[in-house]
Structure 1
Amino acid sequence: MTDLGLWGVPLAVVGGAIRVSTPFLLVSLGECLTERSGRINLGLEGTLVFGAMSGYAVAYLTGSAWAGVGAAAVSGVLFGLLHGALCSLPRVNDIAIGIALMLLGMGLAFFFGKPYIQPVAPDLPAINFGAWSDSPQVQAALRVNVLFILGAVLALVMAWMFKATRIGLVIRVVGDSTDAARALGLHAGRVRLLSTAAGGALAGVGGAYLSLYYPGSWNEGISSGQGLMAVALVIFARWSPINCFFAALLFGGAGALGPALQSVGVTEGYYLFYAAPYVLTLALLIATSSPNRALSGAPGELSITK
């Protein structure tokens, strides 16, 4: 984008924000759903990585990127069910189980993914919203993957679900008070199990996005902690799906800043901006750690509220 001058920086940041934010968006929506039911899942980092590996492997073996997305979603459901089943046992801590499953998911992905580091799998399709421009840089920046659009629509659907549907009301009641849910005849454990499984599916799809579109390959360092950062993102978004969408774009823009500077010829110090998402995560956690507002809007049954 050097021929665009300084205009290339905001253009690259916008395009990069859309590309980088998609896994943040999908994982944070999954975690938002899980936490609204009263359970926290720190294992989504492992689910994300395993989803990236399984999605890439199935896409390579079948020749279909969408088959890979489906496989990643199934793997996420399985990890979610395992997490939910273990957390339903007496005297089991959600956070400890999440960390254990994070390590398990990453370990399994590294073990089974060794044969798929070199092979090339098909990519997911994208829509070129920059077709109006003759500039290849503009067209590249405005190529939007369908999973980003799916995530944006899903954020709206989830927000509507929590506010206006019986399913959303059930999840909110279970997340706020197990006793109230039992008084209404609801099975809190089953609701949390299904919510955790659905959240895991979204995290798995987020992993498939990483390996099948951006960066578009499978390797052991593909996630860079995005699953864990998404948990902080949900807290920052105050457990709102719409806020998760905008927060994901913020994180994505931070992640795209380093490559944007490099694209316009900044050769010194640009690599420091690659740390921007991690600095942003730390800053947001510090900013939201005030006793007066840190847990405002948090479901009452979350482990972090007790």
Structure 2
Amino acid sequence: MNGDLGLWSVLIAVVGGAIRVSTPFLFVSLGETITERSGRINLGLEGTLVFGAMSAYATAVLTGSPWAGVAVAGLAGGAFGLLHGFVCRLPRVNDVAVGIALMLFGTGLAFFFGKAFIQPSAPPLPAIPFGFWSDVPQIQAALRVNVLFLAGAALSVFLWWAFRNTKAGLIVRVVGDSADAARAMGYDVDRVRLYATAAGGVLAGIGGAYLSLYYPGSWNEGISSGQGLMAVALVIFARWNPLACFAAALLFGGAGALGPALQSVGVTQGYYLYYAAPYVLTLALLIATSSPDRALTGAPGELSLSK
């Protein structure tokens, strides 16, 4: 069948891989968008992602329910977000430094508690077989879509609408653009940022649950491969737009799926170089979006990297 499809099998594999690989990028980037729209940056989402993956897997092993694992991962991510938000409320505290500290803390905590769950097998999250109409195995595999990917796609549309049309969304935008204006309007800036950071942590934790309970579908200490940090670059590339985050997550996911796709069709020389595609893309985007002469388009005015 691979021979019959030829290069189409590579394209099909990349499309399917983009859907599978993009989901953690999508949830973490949407969470970071909420946080950064409030004027705060959270580099600790890498640690939140890893701890969410561990807590989801451990919960699924102990309870037999992958959805219980997702719920616990979201709660754990929210707790990390609240901790980050609370510490950042203290005077003379730097958001970036706190984020790096919590990234190391969350990763170390996950490795410590997760050692007992490397071997046990957890029940996976369900997927919807949208390729049921085809007899081609590659198409069936590519169109087997996890429920969390669909939830993330719907959430990106909702957040895009909410930032423009709801009171809560407008409050977050005002706080992120001008803290002084928000205070003049009677809003508690620290509280809004605390809630926004907690919401971002919840989504990052859910993204971690996807990693351990669906793709790759296991728990190990190298499960994240820096996806939490790459998602921060994705948010900048997407210009803090949830819909653009969805498109950018698919782009990152396609880049991550390129190496396995080439390997699946028999490319044995140099294919491993394509595994570095997401990291090269991250570096390229950071260089392309950095300029000492102008502010980033769409960046919240209170965000430290926009000043």
CA drift at 1:292: 4.7
Unaligned runs of 5+ in 2: none
Task: Provide the residue aligned with 1:213 in structure 2.
Answer: 214
Unaligned runs of 5+ in 1: none
Deviations 1:20-46 (A, max 9, x none): 000000000000000000000000000
The aligned length equals: 306
Q: RMSD over aligned Cα, in angstroms? A: 0.9
Flag the 1:210–1:176 CA change in 2: closer, same or farther, 3 A: same
Task: Provide the residue aligned with 1:156 in structure 2.
Answer: 157
| C-alpha contact (below 8 Å) 1:46/1:103 kept by paired residues | yes
* Alignment partner of 1:286 is 2:287: yes
Flag the 1:294–1:279 CA change in 2: closer, same or farther, 3 A: farther
CA drift at 1:135: 1.5
CA drift at 1:305: 2.4
SS of 2:6's equivalent in the other structure is helix
Runs of 4+ in 1 over 4 A off after TM superposition: none
| C-alpha contact (below 8 Å) 2:26/2:245 kept by paired residues | yes
Task: Provide the residue aligned with 1:45 in structure 2.
Answer: 46
Normalised TM-score (structure 2): 0.98
| C-alpha contact (below 8 Å) 1:28/1:230 kept by paired residues | yes
Deviations 1:168-194 (A, max 9, x none): 100000001111000000001100000
Find the aligned partners of 1:136 and 1:294 in 2 and give their Cα distance.
48
* Alignment partner of 1:58 is 2:59: yes
Find the aligned partners of 2:305 and 2:213 in 1 and give their Cα distance.
34
Find the aligned partners of 2:294 and 2:18 in 1 and give their Cα distance.
28
Task: Provide the residue aligned with 1:23 in structure 2.
Answer: 24
CA drift at 1:293: 5.1
Find the aligned partners of 1:290 and 1:305 in 2 and give their Cα distance.
10
Task: Provide the residue aligned with 1:2 in structure 2.
Answer: 2
Task: Provide the residue aligned with 1:93 in structure 2.
Answer: 94
Find the aligned partners of 1:281 and 1:163 in 2 and give their Cα distance.
28
SS of 2:90's equivalent in the other structure is coil
- Amino acid in structure 2 at the alignment position of 1:19: R
Deviations 1:226-271 (A, max 9, x none): 0000000000000000000000000000000000000111011100
Task: Provide the residue aligned with 2:126 in structure 1.
Answer: 125
Normalised TM-score (structure 1): 0.99
Find the aligned partners of 2:114 and 2:159 in 1 and give their Cα distance.
33
Find the aligned partners of 1:46 and 1:260 in 2 and give their Cα distance.
29
SS of 1:144's equivalent in the other structure is strand
Pairing of 1:183-222 with structure 2 (within 5 A): 183-222=184-223
Find the aligned partners of 1:46 and 1:273 in 2 and give their Cα distance.
25
Percent identity, aligned pairs only, is 77
Find the aligned partners of 1:199 and 1:48 in 2 and give their Cα distance.
11
Flag the 1:294–1:210 CA change in 2: closer, same or farther, 3 A: farther
- Amino acid in structure 2 at the alignment position of 1:59: A
| C-alpha contact (below 8 Å) 2:66/2:125 kept by paired residues | yes
Task: Provide the residue aligned with 2:262 in structure 1.
Answer: 261
| C-alpha contact (below 8 Å) 1:80/1:198 kept by paired residues | yes
Find the aligned partners of 1:191 and 1:202 in 2 and give their Cα distance.
17
CA drift at 1:127: 0.5
SS of 1:8's equivalent in the other structure is helix
| C-alpha contact (below 8 Å) 1:152/1:245 kept by paired residues | yes
| C-alpha contact (below 8 Å) 1:288/1:294 kept by paired residues | no
